[in-house]
Amino acid sequence: MLCIGCGGGRIAADTSGVTKTPRQKASVSDRSETSARRFLFGVNLAHVHRRGHGYGSVVSRKVKVRLKQMGFNAVAITPFGYQSSATADEIFGYGDVKGKTEFFSGTDPTMTDEDIIREAKDAHELGLVVVLKPQIWSRDFWGGVEWHGTIRQKTRAAHRRWWESYRSFVLAEARLARRAEVEWLVIGTELVKMTEGDARRWRNLAREIRKVYPGRLTYAAHWDGEFERIGFWEVLDGIGVNAYFPLEAPDTASVPDLVRAWRPYQERLRKVSEEYGKPVLFLEIGYQANRACWRRPWEYEIDDESEGDQAKAYEAFFRAFKGERFFAGFFLWKAFTDPRDRQARGRGKFRFLGTRAEEIIRMYGKAG
């Protein structure tokens, strides 16, 4: 049975037959098994790239307390690896001094493995499930023409070099995931061209990861068909989707209109879930405070601000997926480790904290 948190609400973990005293510490596999029996009401927590304001900071813990009070029971930590261009064949980890491919112009000195371990520890102390979701970033992505899905190499030799570099990066993240005792690891995010016809490499990578990390694995597939083309779901524990599905509904659509507009996508998701016998997780879903934001939810630009439409889109999502037996949960995009920092302020940040959407999210989060 695929039901993880049947009925669309969270369920208590089944701990029958397992007795832990306060001195006993749950293993990664224990935590992962527990998370598999919970509906994940989660959020992507974005790192603010400034020491003392990002992962592992006091201010980040305060944000997680607020999120917990809203009803969230899971967070995704999203460290980046960097490559110099969309066609580069080498990936550098955050803080890698030889990389020279920093978030802005060099390496990223604002994040360390110890910061991520502290972030996960803080989350666990608050009772939150933790997903480690490493992603790739390049300066080429700033313009919007290039993105994760256009990462490709110019020659077969460069493709092999990229794969070996990516393998090293993800295995390092897998070892970090074990140290941080996170429940889920995402082995790739929207690498559309890298998953085309390359299922064997991804299967082998998943098998290697399982040798060093005992938790659960998934991949964050792009909404526009990649999730249906992936050929390696059988070696993972869940079907991950970044769910920026455009809803065919008018600008004046009501919540019931938007719920109906979700149905074709729900059928496609259900079909893949049943084919592989795996639950679906939305590893990203979010809306801007933009007029008719459901039409093109991936867009960062806000040209006609509307907190009301943002709230309406979230409510329709919650209603549409309540009770879906194939659906294991979601992670909203996004909250920041320091909402008051300049990197988190302004338009076009997919923010929901402090907006009308927060009220809707809190209502469904607290309803359980």
**DSSP per position, 258-288:** HHHHTHHHHHHHHHHHHHHT--EEEEEE---
φ, ψ of residue 164 to 5 degrees: the values are -65, -40
φ, ψ of residue 219 to 5 degrees: the values are -135, 140
Which pLDDT does position 358 carry in this prediction?
97
Residue 66's beta-bridge partner residues? none
Of the two residues 22 and 349, the one the predictor is more confident about is 349
pLDDT for 31 beyond 70:
no
Closest by CA to 313, choosing from 329, 289, 330, is 289
E strand spans, the chain? 40-46, 74-77, 80-82, 92-93, 129-132, 135-137, 184-189, 216-222, 239-242, 280-285, 327-336
Homologous superfamily in CATH for domain 28-367:
Glycosidases (3.20.20.80)
pLDDT band for position 271 (cuts 50, 70, 90): very high
323, two tokens: 């009770």
**Domain definitions of the chain by residue range:** 28-367
Single pTM value for the model:
0.89
Give pLDDT tens digits for 275-285. 999 999 999 99
Closest by CA to 209, choosing from 249, 166, 247, is 166
Contact between residue 67 and residue 354 where contact means Cβ atoms under 8 Å apart: no
Which pLDDT does position 32 carry in this prediction?
63
Contact between residue 42 and residue 240 where contact means Cβ atoms under 8 Å apart: no
Whole-number Å distance between alpha carbons of 353 and 346? 13
Whole-number Å distance between alpha carbons of 205 and 217? 11
pLDDT band for position 139 (cuts 50, 70, 90): confident
Residues 308-313 have a mean pLDDT of 98
Give pLDDT tens digits for 219-249. 999 999 999 999 999 999 999 999 999 999 9
**Pairing mode, strands 280-285 and 216-222:** unpaired
Q: Treating both helix axes as pointing N-terminal to C-terminal, what angle do 307-321 and 356-367 enclose, rounded to 10 degrees?
A: 20
Of the two residues 144 and 204, the one the predictor is more confident about is 204
Whole-number Å distance between alpha carbons of 59 and 340? 10
Average pLDDT over the chain, rounded to an integer:
88
Give pLDDT tens digits for 142-201. 877 899 989 999 999 999 999 999 999 999 999 999 999 999 999 999 999 999 989 999
Of the two residues 103 and 127, the one the predictor is more confident about is 127
Give pLDDT tens digits for 66-105. 999 999 999 999 999 989 899 999 998 776 544 343 333 4
* Residue 325: how many other CB atoms lie within 10 Å: 16
pLDDT for 61 beyond 70:
yes
pLDDT for 366 beyond 70:
yes
